[in-house]
Chains A and B, each alone.
Chain A
Amino acid sequence: MTIYYNFAYLDEGTKKKIRRTLLKAVAIPGHQIPFASREMPLPYGWGTGGIQVTAAVIGPEDILKVIDQGSDDTTNAVSIRNFFRSTTGVRTTTSTREATLIQTRHRIPETPLHAGQILVYQVPMPEPLFKLEPRVSETIALHAMADYSLMYLKLYDQITRYGRIAIGYEYPVIVHDRYLTSPSPIPAYDVPKMHMSPALQLFGAGREKRLYAIPPYTRVIPLDFTDYPFDPVNTRQPCALCGAVESYKDEIVIDDAGNRQFICSDTDFCEHRR
């Protein structure tokens, strides 16, 4: 028995609705738009939002890359890639340069993106004010009034407590000089790559049922203080495999004695340099 799935799994009506929401999202950069998130054949927290966005925008000509924590070969990346290969028949790749569509969790590729590419982020929590203001109606009002003093309060308290802004992941940004936006849980180190990127950046939060977008060549500015400017930390240790200094590293335990190595988290980037 063969099971027939529609191209990219979702039915055309659903894809159309998601695409209309994405158009809205692109028109209001950084603003979260609610959407009717569907059940997907994997649990929330495994990228259901990103997968729905990818399914809505993917076409037969696309070349798809899927990364998880920068790696093309983790279980999650492999199964999402297989899922789209079997439901669309599109070509897949691990090459950032070659891909037209990249779905990602937790990283932006080191290789600069180019015009025409689409980067789809899997987002667990789209609301950057969530931990500071639990009432959804109030966060909506704060966005409407562009009142982000709550987030500045958080930064103020961090400098007071730790002597610096100690946000390593999910660093809050202002998109297009207007909306406070979560860049998803990528390292703060990746945030500058979002600013004026030639690629279209789409964000899908399945459980929270929100989509948002950053169109190409859009200003993405990290929140900071003039005397405590945004300054993400990254190890100055070179990659043990390729020697790269500027790339973002994972720290890996390599033996039972607890010895550690720093290795590029972006496997495609690292392999090309070796």
Chain B
Amino acid sequence: MSYRPVPILMARDLTLSFGTLRALESVSLEIYPGEVLAIVGESGSGKTTLLNTLYGVLAPGAGEVRFGENGELDRCVQTLPRQQLRHLHRSAWGYVHQNPRDALRMEITAGGNIVERLMAAGEKHYGTLREKALFWLQKVEIDPKRIDDLPTTFSGGMQQRLQIARTLISHPYLLFMDEPTSGLDVSVQAGLLDLLRNLVSEQRMAVILVTHDLAVARLLAGRIAVMQRGRIIETGVTDQVLDDPQHPYTQLLVSSVLPA
């Protein structure tokens, strides 16, 4: 008997409209434990819409998203009770926003931001929370001395690192990221991408990464799905898709961004 990995999340025939606009058209995909799947495509192709539908904050008109940790896709995002979905969002899953201000509590210190998920999970020892906050600050390469500073005093890159620490502290097995580096200067981007790559392999989590930057996809993702006008038109191993694109749209995308 051959070993076939079981996906931890699977979407089937997702369709979603905003009024007359078809934002998703019969989208299906799987994500396997520990892999990084990049969703690429031009602006307006439906990447964020797809990510948010998989995450369960947008409801599709048709189709479903199933998931499960134990080798069975026994739960459905669309029919999950709100309380369970929230619990999932607060611990086993994580979401990194493009703009860290959408996730951070700007009036709470960096340390407080990092440990919120632990408190939600019931950690009631202040000393332990401090230790964990310091540990994660170091992990995302922020000076631990900044633990009691407000995020408003942090640079954009540091705020993004803070958001990552705050999300990863609960050790999610599945991470959703929407353009996590695109708001940043190129030099800052490089450092953050390095950090993300290390954390992702160290934490052994699966990642669904939305990006319009094929270089980011190349660096982080094992597989890639290319979107155009709400459809996934090509999917495969990253190097294969980027080096030998089959679909004319992918060929256009690759040639415009990665000149030979």
Chain A residues close to B by CB (< 8 Å): 141, 144-145, 147, 149, 152-153, 156-157, 159-161, 224-228
Q: Identify 14 residue pairs between A and B in the complex whose beta-carbon atoms are under 8 Å apart, listed by A's number.
A: A144-B83, A145-B83, A147-B86, A147-B120, A149-B120, A152-B124, A157-B109, A160-B111, A160-B112, A225-B124, A225-B125, A227-B125, A227-B126, A228-B126
Task: Give complex CA distance A159, B109 in Å.
Answer: 12
Which of chain A's residues have a CB closer than 8 A to the CB of B24? none
Give the distance to chain B from A227, nearest Cβ to Cβ, in Å: 5
Which of chain B's residues have a CB closer than 8 A to the CB of A160? 109, 111-112, 148
Question: Chain B residue with minimal CB distance to A165?
Answer: B126
B108 touches A157 (CB 8 A): yes
Say if the beta carbon of B115 comes within 8 Å of chain A.
yes
Total CB contacts across the A-B interface at under 8 A: 46
Which 6 A-B pairs give the minimum distances between C-beta atoms?
A: A149-B120, A152-B119, A225-B126, A149-B119, A226-B125, A156-B112
Task: Give complex CA distance A245, B18 in Å.
Answer: 68
Say if the beta carbon of B5 comes within 8 Å of chain A.
no
A226 touches B124 (CB 8 A): yes
A156 touches B83 (CB 8 A): no
A153 touches B116 (CB 8 A): yes
Which of chain A's residues have a CB closer than 8 A to the CB of B112? 153, 156-157, 160
0/1 per residue, B110-133, Cβ < 8 Å to A? 011001110110001111010000
Which of chain B's residues have a CB closer than 8 A to the CB of A161? 148
A227 touches B127 (CB 8 A): yes
Task: Give complex CA distance A224, B126 in Å.
Answer: 9
New A-B contacts (12) at CB < 8 Å, excluding given A152-B124, A156-B112, A227-B127: A141-B86, A149-B117, A149-B120, A156-B111, A160-B109, A160-B111, A161-B148, A224-B124, A225-B125, A226-B126, A227-B126, A228-B126
Task: Give complex CA distance A144, B105 in Å.
Answer: 22
Give the distance to chain B from A132, nearest Cβ to Cβ, in Å: 9
Which of chain A's residues have a CB closer than 8 A to the CB of B127? 227
Q: Is the interface of A mostly helix, strand, loop or mixed?
A: helix
Task: Give complex CA distance A130, B59 in Å.
Answer: 29
Task: Give complex CA distance A161, B112 in Å.
Answer: 11
Give the distance to chain A from B82, nearest Cβ to Cβ, in Å: 8
A156 touches B119 (CB 8 A): yes
B129 touches A156 (CB 8 A): yes
Task: Give complex CA distance A160, B148 in Å.
Answer: 7
| CB < 8 Å neighbour of B86 from A145, A152, A157, A224 | A145
Given contacts A145-B86, A160-B112, whether A153 and B119 have CB atoms under 8 Å apart is: yes
0/1 per residue, B91-115, Cβ < 8 Å to A? 0000000000000010011011001
Task: Give complex CA distance A228, B128 in Å.
Answer: 12
Question: Chain A residue with minimal CB distance to B118?
Answer: A149
Which of chain A's residues have a CB closer than 8 A to the CB of B108? 153, 157
A149 touches B116 (CB 8 A): yes
A159 touches B86 (CB 8 A): no
Question: Chain B residue with minimal CB distance to A223?
Answer: B124
Which of chain A's residues have a CB closer than 8 A to the CB of B115? 156
Question: Chain A residue with minimal CB distance to B107?
Answer: A157
Counting chain B CB atoms within 10 Å of each CB, the highest count among A145, A147, A152, A225 belongs to A152
Task: Give complex CA distance A224, B83 in Å.
Answer: 25
Which of chain A's residues have a CB closer than 8 A to the CB of B83? 144-145
Question: Chain A residue with minimal CB distance to B90?
Answer: A147
Which of chain B's residues have a CB closer than 8 A to the CB of A227? 125-127
Which of chain B's residues have a CB closer than 8 A to the CB of A226? 124-126
Residues from 72 to 90 in B contacting A, C-beta threshold 8 Å: 82-83, 86-87, 90
Give the distance to chain A from B17, nearest Cβ to Cβ, in Å: 26
A159 touches B119 (CB 8 A): no
Which of chain A's residues have a CB closer than 8 A to the CB of B148? 160-161
Task: Give complex CA distance A145, B148 in Å.
Answer: 29
Give the distance to chain B from A25, nearest Cβ to Cβ, in Å: 23
Which of chain B's residues have a CB closer than 8 A to the CB of A144? 83
Given contacts A144-B83, A147-B120, whether A153 and B126 have CB atoms under 8 Å apart is: no
Task: Give complex CA distance A144, B108 in Å.
Answer: 24
B105 touches A153 (CB 8 A): yes
Residues from 146 to 187 in B contacting A, C-beta threshold 8 Å: 148
Task: Give complex CA distance A224, B119 in Å.
Answer: 12
Question: Chain A residue with minimal CB distance to B128?
Answer: A227
Question: Chain A residue with minimal CB distance to B86?
Answer: A145
Task: Give complex CA distance A152, B127 in Å.
Answer: 14
Which of chain B's residues have a CB closer than 8 A to the CB of A157? 108-109, 112
A159 touches B120 (CB 8 A): no
Task: Give complex CA distance A144, B87 in Å.
Answer: 12
Give the distance to chain A from B119, nearest Cβ to Cβ, in Å: 4
Task: Give complex CA distance A61, B155 in Å.
Answer: 68
Which of chain A's residues have a CB closer than 8 A to the CB of B87? 145
